Amino acid sequence: LSQEPPGVGRVFSGIQPTGVPHLGNYLGALENWVALQNHYPSVLYSIVDLHSITQPQDPAQLRGNILDMTASLLACGVDPERAILFQQSQDMRGIYFIAESRYVFCAANSFINLPSEDEDGPSVWSTYVPVGEDQIQHLELAQDLARIFNNHYGNLFSEPSALLSSTRKVKSLRDPSAKMSKSDPQAMATVNITDSPDDIALKIRRAVTDFTSEVTFDPETRPGVSNLVTIHAAMAMISVEEALSQARGLDTGNYKKLVTEAVVQRLTPIREEIERLRSDRALLEGVLAQGTRRARELAAPVLREVRQRVGFC
> How many C-beta atoms surround the C-beta of residue 199 within 10 A?
15
Which residues, including other chains, have CB under 8 Å from residue 228's CB and lie 6 or more apart? 204, 207, 209, 215, 252, 255, 256, 259
Report the pLDDT value the prediction gives residue 110, as an integer from 0 to 100.
Answer: 42
User: Does residue 107 register a pLDDT over 60?
Assistant: no
Instruction: Give the pLDDT confidence of 175-197 residue by residue, as tens digits.
Output: 999 999 988 999 999 999 999 99
Closest CA to 94 of 262, 311, 299, 301: 299
pLDDT higher at 270 or 123: 270
Report the pLDDT value the prediction gives residue 124, as an integer from 0 to 100.
Answer: 40
β partners of residue 162: 129
Q: Cα–Cα distance between 123 and 104 in angstroms, integer?
A: 16
According to DSSP, the β-strands at 42-47 and 10-15 are parallel
pLDDT level of residue 7 (50, 70, 90 thresholds): low
User: Does residue 116 register a pLDDT over 70?
Assistant: no
**Are the CB atoms for 66 and 47 separated by under 8 Å?**
yes
pLDDT level of residue 145 (50, 70, 90 thresholds): confident
**Are the CB atoms for 176 and 227 separated by under 8 Å?**
yes
Report the pLDDT value the prediction gives residue 117, as an integer from 0 to 100.
Answer: 35
Q: Which of 108-112, 205-209, 307-311 has the highest mean pLDDT?
A: 205-209
Report the pLDDT value the prediction gives residue 136, as an integer from 0 to 100.
Answer: 81
Average pLDDT, the chain: 85
Instruction: Give the pLDDT confidence of 195-225 residue by residue, as tens digits.
Output: 999 999 999 999 999 999 999 999 999 999 9
Report the pLDDT value the prediction gives residue 114, as an integer from 0 to 100.
Answer: 33
pTM reported for the whole predicted model: 0.85
Report the pLDDT value the prediction gives residue 208, as an integer from 0 to 100.
Answer: 97
